[in-house]
Amino acid sequence: MQARELAIRAQDVEAGFSGLKDLPTFASAEFKNTILVGRAARLAAHIQGAEVFEESGVKRLEYVAASLGIEPVSLPLVLRLLEEADMVTVRERAGEIDRVLENVPRFADLHSKLGAVIGQRKLSELEVATLESYDQLAQAPRVDDGSLPIFGVAGPLQQPLLEIADQAGLIRRVEEKGSQPLLYSPQYWDENDEATARIFKSFDVEEVKRAYRDVRGEPGRPITSSHIKTDYDVVKRLADAGIFPSPSVHGLKGVFGFAFTPYKGFQDDPAVQSKRMEKVRALIACVRYGQHFGSGSKIKYPGAILNALLTRKSLAPHTDAYTQYKLLFDQGIVRLERLNPTSPYFVTSLIDTEENVLALQAAISLITQGMPIEATEINSEIRDYAKSSTYEEPVVARARRVYVPGSKSARIVYDAVQTILTT
């Protein structure tokens, strides 16, 4: 693998591991470099455009890192790696970090720089086998013939490694009675939107085709039986299987998944594009959460929340802005600053980077091309916006979901993988 691909795959492996309830001790030890680089990549993407964290801002950085599963005791290690990659400059005083200057490059270069760093480190046999196997299956599924690098791991760790890769939503096996088992990665669908679209158009089962059309028509539809009256079971199982890249939002009203079909929104290679789509899905999922699970009056115009951020660059000061915009704050999309040092009002402003503007434009395009969105208001714009919530990207969310394929979903996945292999 090239340096950039190595860092991208490390980011996904770390994200999948972070979604597991318990990570076995052997995995924590064997994958220490992968976990460190993956955390660095996820944190860098979130803080890009923040420029500097000083004094109380360092505590804010710790909160952002914690929302990604990076404990405060681990943050110095992650920052040290980012400093090695020339993405941050860290200043310490009395043994404590008191200033972090951010210099994260544009998204296309972020993983190349991190990949160069990880390439200088000695990866364990398990890391190499898992990263290479995951990369190969993310590019194309294959017949289970034992040739995947992960099957070359000798000794008693091979089977638990395969189980972890399955639970983390990285590498999965599907089979049908009387047919040869197949291997695939859920990441394949996210990186191959055109192939996925062709597969669903070719399906003979109408409920599967209808489920794809419905989710395509309303990006970010909540995965609940009350919001999906028809084909709920199909949509849920496709999300669990990873065919629909579906993030989750944890809010006051509970944890809800939001269904998306794979979508090509940027002119990048597939692996990089899927990472750039994270902010797009985050924007839409956060607004959908406020739409379906918030309270307050609804606005008339589609995409009003996102349009306000894009065109005005900031929203009206409000005392509840910190809790109401926590999701976008955690994603590195907005800043939250007091109107003045003693004011209870916070101003929400867009972190006006190229990446955030492109993400907003893509999110608005997705929403307005699908079904009209009805979002809730605050200060005549937004109210009760997913308060005290956290967002989980699809890689983490699918690891948290317990995927137990039933006969119907297994057949759908098998047929989809088989179609790729025979076309």
Taking 70 as the threshold, does the pLDDT of residue 316 lie above it? yes
**Entry field: residues in the chain:** 423
SS3 of 48, please?
Answer: coil
pLDDT single digits (tens) 247-257: 888 776 778 89
d(CA 223, CA 289): 11
What kind and span of H or E run contains 12? helix 3-18
pTM (predicted TM-score): 0.81
User: Is pLDDT above 90 for 377?
Assistant: no
- The domain locations on the chain are 3-126, 204-396
Integer Cα distance of 12 and 130 in angstroms: 11
Say whether pLDDT at 22 is over 90.
no
Residue type, 112: S
Q: Encode pLDDT of 25-61 as tens digits.
A: 999 999 999 999 999 998 998 888 777 788 777 888 8
The strand pair at 142-143 and 221-222 is best described as unpaired
CA 402/CA 143 separation, integer angstroms: 24
Closest by Cα among 135, 236, 264, 247 to 188:
135
- pLDDT, average across residues 224-232: 87
Q: What is the DSSP secondary structure assignment for residue 220, as one 8-state letter?
A: T
Collapsing DSSP states into helix, strand and coil, what is residue 52?
strand
Handedness of CA 144, 148, 154, 159 (dihedral sign): negative
Contact 374, 227 (CB under 8 A): no
pLDDT at residue 376 tops 60: no
Give the integer Cα–Cα distance in Å for 135 and 185: 9
Tokens of 314: 């900031």
374 confidence band (pLDDT: 50, 70, 90)? very low
Q: Please name every residue paired with 96 in a beta bridge, in sequence order, or none if there are none.
A: 93
DSSP 89-134: EEEEETTEEEEEEE-PPPHHHHHHHHHHHHTTS---HHHHHHHHHH
Average pLDDT over residues 5-13: 93
Q: For residue 298, is pLDDT > 60?
A: no
Question: What band does 88 get if pLDDT is binned at 50, 70 and 90?
Answer: very high
CA 70 to chain centre: 15
pLDDT of residue 182: 93
Average pLDDT, the chain: 82
Mean pLDDT of 275-298: 75
Q: Quote the strand ranges of 169-275, DSSP E.
A: 172-174, 182-184, 221-222, 248-251, 254-259
Instruction: Place 385 in a pLDDT band, splitting at 50, 70 and 90.
Output: very low
In the chain, pLDDT over 70 holds for what percent of residues? 86
**Helix, strand, or coil (residue 296):** coil
Query: How many C-beta neighbours within 10 Å does residue 387 have?
Result: 19
pLDDT band per the 50, 70, 90 thresholds, residue 295: low
Q: Among the listed ranges 84-93, 95-104, 265-274, 378-387, which one has the minimum average pLDDT value?
A: 378-387
Say what the pLDDT of residue 253 is: 74
Using one digit for the tens of pLDDT, what is the confidence trace for 170-202?
999 988 877 889 999 999 988 888 888 888 877
pLDDT of residue 195: 84
Q: Which helix (H) or strand (E) holds 317?
A: strand 314-318
Average pLDDT over residues 245-266: 81
Would the pLDDT of 151 be above 90? yes
DSSP 359-422: HHHHHHHHHHHSSPP--BBTTTTB-S-STT-EEE-HHHHHHHS-----HHHHHHHHHHHHHHHH
Model pLDDT, residue 403: 60
DSSP of 328-356, one letter per residue? HHHTTSEEEEESSTT-S-EEEEE---HHH
Q: Which of 123-132, 214-223, 251-260, 292-301 has the highest mean pLDDT?
A: 123-132
Is residue 206 pLDDT above 90, yes or no?
no
Whether residue 215 contacts residue 259, with contact meaning beta carbons closer than 8 Å, is answered with yes
Residue with the larger pLDDT of the pair 369 and 393: 393
Is the per-residue pLDDT at 269 higher than 80? no
Q: Which of 1-5, 23-27, 112-116, 276-280 has the lowest mean pLDDT?
A: 276-280
Query: What is the rounded CA–CA span in Å between residue 270 and residue 42?
Result: 18
Query: Which pLDDT does position 405 carry in this prediction?
Result: 59
Q: What is the pLDDT of residue 391?
A: 65
pLDDT at 8: 92
